[in-house]
Structure 1
Amino acid sequence: MTLQYTAVGIQNESHMATTIDDYWKDLERLQTSIGYSVWNCSLDLPVRLVTISEGGIGGWCLGGGDEHIRIARDVVPEIPGKETEFLGEICKQFNIYLIAQMVATAPDIMKDRIFNIAFMIDPNGDVIHQHIKTSFYQRETNTAPSDIWNLYLEKYGDDPEKLLDVLYPVAKTEIGNIGTLICAEGSYPEAARGLALNGAEVIYRSQYPEPWMGNKMNQIQNQSHAIFNTCYVVAPNIGGIYMPGWMISK
């Protein structure tokens, strides 16, 4: 990768979604934020990559048991879908690649389950990359590949190289080979190394909750991933999170 460009991390406020409308509140605000970031941050090199943090679109809409199934059926989007089409139009307008994350469904993997998914959209507006989060911190109730490993083996087989590609996919683009890690995944050097083995030159790694941002653990991990794997790490943080009746400041 020899191309020089600017990568932007947008630190936006978001809503903990209780309906799909909450996703759209964040999407509509991001339309303005993305446009401003491209305009303001391209004074030196052109902005070609814009990143949005975990939770930046619809928060996490967490729920276990029957609530998990209700959220999967009634609240969260599917990727690709109307939401990624909306973001795709922005990518076309500004000729950018966009990396973001949403709690969403993946019916091709398993119906009625919620997954934490990072995705990338190219300047043509197409979703070219999806990565399902593999490891969570204590409060997250989404579905991990390890929870349904038998389905992964049925779908993809047991070849280690094939499974590495499935778990740690890397998008080959004109601005570099790009992979994604979501929050707690960055706690494990093996996750970043999995992306590096698949050719990653740029790794997106989204934020942690406190106290692991303020005490610099997140920063140390990201710098280590970059050094040990000879790659760049783009690490967007999040702003305030609106929840029903109150707000958390990150």
Structure 2
Amino acid sequence: MKKLLLAAAAAVMPAFASAHFLMEYTENTMIERPGDVPVKLIFWHPFEAGHVMTLEKPEEFYVIHNGNKTDLLDTLEETTFDGPDNSAKAFKGSVPVKRSGDYVVVTVPTPYYEESEDIYIQQITKAYLNRNELPTDWDQPQGLATEILPLNKPYNIIAGSTFTGRVLSEGKPVAGVEIEIEYIAAAPDLKSTGAAAPTVSPLPGGALVAISDENGYFSFGVPKAGYWGFAALGSGPKTEHEGKELSQDAVIWIRAWDLE
């Protein structure tokens, strides 16, 4: 019931408040050569390429490969990200990709205070890299407070197919959660503080939304190649931070490709 109430509350929030997405952006998900893969952490409205939120240094930033966790917090350097209307603090870091297999990039951000709603938001975020097409970790939960477990390999989804995920809180499925869905319309530039021009515009009617079923599952038909993000709003166990309401969200990013 708590999750259903949170979802209902989120549905009546203004679009700008409910479209926050923490991005772990890399230029590619399929890594050909070993080395350090640049990643940029941005708190943005990626579908509308709009207002940028200030991102404080995360509480945790790490990668999981073959079940082993490597702390990457020391790789982060403060930078800025320029949206069309404003600039805000962001971070750039790197992920060491050497051996074959999956690399699950995890960010646990410092809670962000949304003044217009008088609440805190903490989006625990996962993205996936792979080297040499060897699957190792993508289909396993990573033991996060809340997360979306992919049921399709998240770094090579076919555009026009579907993506299915399962919302978990402390390892258990969560029913009735609202999942917001966004597309990176303007790709960030890893060599500068800006982004490319948007390639699409947000659809009329507000955010794209799915609701998890009684077993925590949801599915989405992926219409276009590129990066898609899914945010399960208020799916985490923690509901308060510094005396105020906290929306502890689970975010996952996937990469879709055209079938050529």
* Same fold by TM-score greater than 0.5: no
**Larger helix percent:** 1
TM-score bracket, normalised by the shorter chain, equals 0.3 to 0.5
**Larger strand percent:** 2
TM-score after normalising by structure 2 = 0.32
TM-score after normalising by structure 1 = 0.33
